[in-house]
Structure 1
Amino acid sequence: MEVKIGVQHSPRELVIDSPKTPDEIAADVAAAMSGATKDGLLSLVDERGRRVVVPVDRIAYVEIAPADKPRVGFISGSAG
């Protein structure tokens, strides 16, 4: 799953490819935003094992979507 996190006062969003399901990611975000994590941080791990940590008070939005698959295209036309 692709997770995009908008951070306040930052022109770019964080993009993470996560092996978790959308429901698991949403639960992690909800737990962090509700204060259940005690440290005020949202911590997600990507498919390569890298950890991204964001202070919850700086999160503007979280978007969860299927990861874009590489596209292979062919152009058909007449040669000649």
Structure 2
Amino acid sequence: MEIKIGIQHSARELSLESNQTSEEVEAAVAAALKDDGVLTLTDDKDRKVLVPGSKIAYVELGEPTGRRVGFGTI
């Protein structure tokens, strides 16, 4: 699953691929926001990503998309 996290006062977003389900990610985000804790996610290479709950602007969940090849439809 592709996860994008917007960080307050940062022009760039954090993007990662994870093997966690959307329900697991939603529960982790809700817990981090509720308790003003730290959002901890694991990417598909078993690296941990830590984000302070108070700095999260948004979280976007989606399925990974394949890379497009070419310059348009023919």
TM-score, normalization by structure 1 = 0.79
Q: Quick one: percent identity of the two aligned structures?
A: 50
> 5+ unaligned residues in a row in structure 1: which ranges?
none
The equivalent position to 1:56 in structure 2, one of 34, 37, 53, is: 53
Q: Secondary structure at the match of 1:24?
A: helix
Task: Compute the RMSD of aligned alpha carbons.
Answer: 2.0
Q: Secondary structure at the match of 1:29?
A: helix
Structure 2 partner of 1:20: 20
Determine which structure has the larger strand proportion and give its number. Answer: 2
Does residue 66 in structure 1 map to residue 63 in structure 2?
A: yes
Shift of 1:72: 5.3
> 5+ unaligned residues in a row in structure 2: which ranges?
none
Q: Secondary structure at the match of 1:10?
A: coil
CA separation in 2, counterparts of 1:45 and 1:18?
Answer: 6
Q: Larger Rg: 1 or 2? A: 1
Moved over 4 A (4+): none
1:17-59 deviations in whole A, cap 9, x for unaligned?
0101111111111111111xxx711010100011110111110
Aligned residue pairs total 72
